[in-house]
Structure 1
Amino acid sequence: MVKTVAEIKAINAKGKYQATWASLSQFKMPQWFMNAKFGIFTHWGLYTVPEYRNEWYSRNMYIQGYPEYEHHRETYGPQDQFGYKDFIPLFTAEKFDAEEWLKIFKNAGARYYFPVSEHHDGFQMYQSELSHYNAYEMGPKRDVIGELRQATIGAGLHFCTSNHRAEHWWFMSHGREFKSDIHEPMQKGDFYWPAMPEPNNQDLFSEPYPTTEYLDDWLMRVVEIIDRYQPELLYFDWWIQHEAFKPYIKELAAYYYNQGAALDYPTGICFKYDGMAFGTGIPDVERGGFADAKPFHWQTDTAIANNSWCYTTTLEYKTANEILINLIDAVSKNGNLLLNVGPKADGSIAAKDQELLAAVGDWLRVNGEGIYDSETWKIMGEGDTNISGGMFEDLSKLKYHANDIRYTANHGSVYAYVLNPEGQAEVVLQAFHAFDEKDEPTFHGVLAGVEQLGVGPVDWRITPQGMVVKIKPSADDRPVGIKIILE
């Protein structure tokens, strides 16, 4: 049964966590999350049906002059005759198999899974009592999130979910600017409701402010997800940092953390753009990262393609090596990688996505001992190439070389990952150079041996320039993992 806002507040009043940043600062990062390092994200919903450009199709098809606007009219007809809601009957998901998805994700080496429960378009991918516009009652007529939760737990992964409804306040508003189906009468619970004017730059103080009615509905929807599916982590997209959401995100966080404490499972909220006070959740960097290792644990989320989060027919895929470098770089800097995959509208996962995920899994099975459960070393790495830090500074834009190394520590050893071996038979780890009275090396201890992960012991020697290690690079120049065993 759906809880009212009054009931939510009453529960919080009796809990350990109150709706204040000071109280929410009691938050502790789940240990399993810090150990897991790698998760899978999926964007799948109505926006996938047209398979055109990206997941913002529902907004852009109503903006005159946009490619989606013209494509929609040419393909489906005018927006007053075939609106976004008319994709619902086409979203039948006839090939959707939750267990098959999770086999693929587990084989890729993922330790946790984040399906999107509701995107900006307002279509709920779960059973809901707050709106009839959900996948259980319409379209596939299946509780997608429920099936994915069951399959995730069955596969031994941690189940999490993401909610992007905050932006729905304005996401469908451009359909009011011309003749379209968004002129239909709207009330709470309707698909397009409220379709308010889109603010300039969607900034922190944009008007019109979301109303109490809308904010209450947002809070109740997320609490419904928490109660029904008990996710171990939540993720919110960027508009929750708006001033109007502040009391609501605090109330939601208090409720979620209190429920986790009551049911004895650790919880956490991933947030972007300072949407929450630091120390009350998990900082997330979209398509980016940090230049250096951080004293706090964090996450980067990026997609398997550079130009969309959902499946389209024009995806610009990353390479397996780019994805692996993204993972290694994040882990060396005390972070996790959440990699997004966009299933096709019919519920299948495209062959190219499966190929890339399989390559990541193959590499992790050989090199994962320095990734999973690892910690940052005294330095995160060395080399000429590094991300500058920040949102949308995707590592796929950079060219790495054989001198670009990232370090981790685990099992009493140091792990050095050569990001791009470039076919070389030897690499130099500068952190382990010979002792010099003028320049003491980063490491000044006793070494028992050196191994290449997946190969075994390898020849090495210490020189003034660094530890010279003989390696066996792969044909496709995958990153090479080197285990430095301490005496």
Structure 2
Amino acid sequence: MKSLILLLLLFISAPFVQAQQYKSDWESIDSRPIPQWFEDAKFGIFIHWGLYSVPAWAPADADIGIYAKYAEWYWWRINEESKAGRLFRDYHDKMYGADFKYQDFAPMFKAQHWDPAQWASIFKDAGAKYVVLTSKHHEGFTLWPSEQSWNWNSVDIGPHRDLCGDLSTAVKDAGLHMGFYYSLYEWYNPLYKNNLEKYVDDHMIPQMKDLVTRYEPDILWTDGEWDHPSEKWKSTEFLAWLYNESPVKERVCVNDRWGSKTRGKHGGFFTTEYDLVHDGAGGEMEKAWEECRGIGTSFGYNQIEDLDNYQSSDALIDMLIEKVAGGGNLLLDVGPTSDGRIPVIQQQRLADIGSWLAVNGEAIYETRKWDGAKNNQTENIFFTRNDDYLYVHCTKFPTEPINLKGVKATAVSMLGYSGKISFKTSGNSTKIVVPQISPADNPGEFAWVFKVKL
């Protein structure tokens, strides 16, 4: 009888013991494997939407550096003494008057044309597998009814709607993973300025826990960490709760923005932004990683961006291929208007990506970086692989045979093309003969993928 009781106690306590495996230190937190779904997904949509979507302005063509062209930094820039700050302030005074405060934009953020199901459909048709919404940017305005942001959230003022909740429901209903961006710091919050510890304990951590328990996201994407080390933000304490006790402890993914020296060093997946790790060089990383950037020069909607400021569909598809071939994901940003519309040019770019992925998605999703790529570096050719196949991505249509070193192929085809692909295997290498393709049987116009059975 005693043995039976002991076995029952062990059975009951087993989940609890397992749930307490991560301690509040980086060695323990970093030991948690990234959930496989994230590395399989490859392509996600970032959404920057907030009060900054009302003025929706930044000097897109000015020589002021990458970060100063972000429209979502509008409030900070109009108060900044710099070249960029003067441009923002001059525009603000001219358009709204010197006495117009940033807070006055809140009732103008109405989202009256917003349809979350339409957004989710656009993202799904684009081939995205996950979505990350700015639940709160550095302005501190939350897109959900946060108790810590009374009268400074989308339910109390402006749209009078739980934007996080409504989009989360629509995205999950579409079969996609839902995540939230969250800024650790707030530019002008008096509590943050005057009592950091109280801000962290009574404002920041309660907000993050509320987001997690209320909406159960698959990603928590933090930012605004650079003012203080992770110890001041109590990041490892929060992450221990997230990994041990939260309702999403098994599947949630986090990034690396948890303190002034954590990018590319600590956290879940590592991040680059417009190919930079903060102000350092970016590029491929050994750990799971993700490049984030806008379709244009800004994350938030910038109404003065024109065609020259936007990446072409061809360039965006090439970027997706390059990042995935390097072992990473691409988190591509859209900046909606304040009334809730995704600009048509952004929709068009997403539609083109989706059309390409409909044909070539198997060469992107659930693939990994190919170790043999280093010995086969060729301009405009990239590689991904899975257990059985090597995928050869040609971002320009090749005019010469493709020679693959270290590859013994048993079959070769081109995704979306029904014709036969000739190849020759000699020793431990394979030569692919590029077919003559006509407009009638061309599988696409942006990039072409050879599927090589190993």
TM-score bracket for the superposition, by shorter chain length? 0.7 to 0.9
Displacement, 1:238?
4.7
Deviates more, 1:54-63 or 1:335-344: 54-63
SS of corresponding position for 2:225: helix
1:60 deviates by 1.0
- Which string of whole-angstrom CA distances, capped at 9 and with x for unpartnered residues, describes residues 218-240 of structure 1? 22221221121111111112525
Of 388, 406, 412 in structure 2, the residue corresponding to residue 442 of structure 1 is 406
Whole-angstrom CA distance in 2 between matches of 1:377 and 1:457 = 26
Alignment of 1:185-196 (within 5 A): 192-194=189-191, 196=193
Whole-angstrom distance in 2 between the partners of 1:162 and 1:101:
17
Change (3 A) 1:89 1:301: same
Q: Which runs of 5+ in 1 are unaligned?
A: 1-10, 173-191, 197-207, 385-402, 433-440
Letter in 1 for 2:156: E
Counterpart CA distance in 1 for 2:191 and 2:101 is 16
Cα distance change on mapping 1:352 and 1:276 into 2, 3 Å: closer
TM-score, L = length of structure 2: 0.82
| 1:220 match | 206
Written as runs of structure 1 = structure 2, the 5 A alignment for 1:130-141 is: 130-132=148-150, 133-141=152-160
Q: What is the 5 A alignment of 1:85-484?
A: 85-132=103-150, 133-166=152-185, 168=186, 171-172=187-188, 192-194=189-191, 196=193, 211-216=196-201, 217-240=203-226, 242-243=228-229, 245-246=231-232, 248-260=234-246, 265-272=250-257, 274-275=261-262, 278=265, 280-288=267-275, 294-305=285-296, 307-315=297-305, 316-380=309-373, 382-383=376-377, 403-410=379-386, 412-421=388-397, 424=398, 426-430=399-403, 432=404, 441-443=405-407, 445=408, 447-462=409-424, 466-470=431-435, 472=437, 477-484=445-452
Residue 201 (structure 1) aligns with: none
Distance 2:149 2:55 in 1: 24
1:56 to 2:43 alignment = no
The match for 1:37 among 18, 37, 42 is 42
Q: Which deviations, in whole Å up to 9, do the C-alpha atoms of 1:177-207 show, x marking residues without a partner?
A: xxxxxxxxxxxxxxx43574xxxxxxxxxxx
Check if 1:69 corresponds to 2:89.
Answer: yes
Q: Which residue of 2 aligns with 1:15?
A: 20
CA 1:475–1:466: 2 relative to 1, 3 Å: closer
- Residues 319-362 of structure 1, C-alpha deviations (whole Å, 9 max, x = no match): 11111111111111211111111111110111101100000000
Contact residue 396 and residue 447 of structure 2 kept, 8 A: yes
CA distance in 1, matches of 2:343, 2:387: 37
**CA distance in 2 between partners of 1:311 and 1:479 (Å):** 28
Deviations 1:106-139 (A, max 9, x none): 0000001100100011101111111211101111
> Which deviates further from its counterpart, 452-461 or 241-250?
241-250
Distance 1:241 1:328, change over 3 A: farther
Deviations 1:20-45 (A, max 9, x none): 11321331211111111111000000
Q: Judge conservation of contact 1:420–1:477 (CA < 8 Å) in 2.
A: no
Identical-residue share of aligned pairs (%)? 30
Please report the TM-score for the alignment, with normalisation by the length of structure 1: 0.77
Deviates more, 1:213-222 or 1:351-360: 213-222
The CA deviation at 1:302 is 1.4
CA offsets per residue over residues 413-468 of structure 1, 9 Å max, x none?
110000122xx5x34323x2xxxxxxxx322x2x3322111112433344999533
In structure 2, relative to structure 1, the CA distance for the partners of 1:113 and 1:413 (3 Å cut) is same
Q: Is the 8 A contact 2:256 2:266 kept in 1?
A: no
Q: Residues 239 and 308 from structure 1, CA distance in 2 versus in 1: closer, same or farther, beyond 3 angstroms?
A: same
How far is 1:93 from its partner?
0.7
Amino acid at match of 1:121: E
**Alpha carbons of structure 1 residues 72 and 276: separation in structure 2 relative to 1, 3 Å:** closer
CA contact (8 A) 1:44 1:116 kept: yes
Q: Does the CA-based 8 Å contact 1:452-1:471 persist in structure 2?
A: no
Distance 1:212 1:264 in 2: 26
Q: Which one-letter code corresponds to 2:94 in the other structure?
A: E
Letter in 1 for 2:434: V
Letter in 1 for 2:198: E
Distance 1:113 1:268 in 2: 13
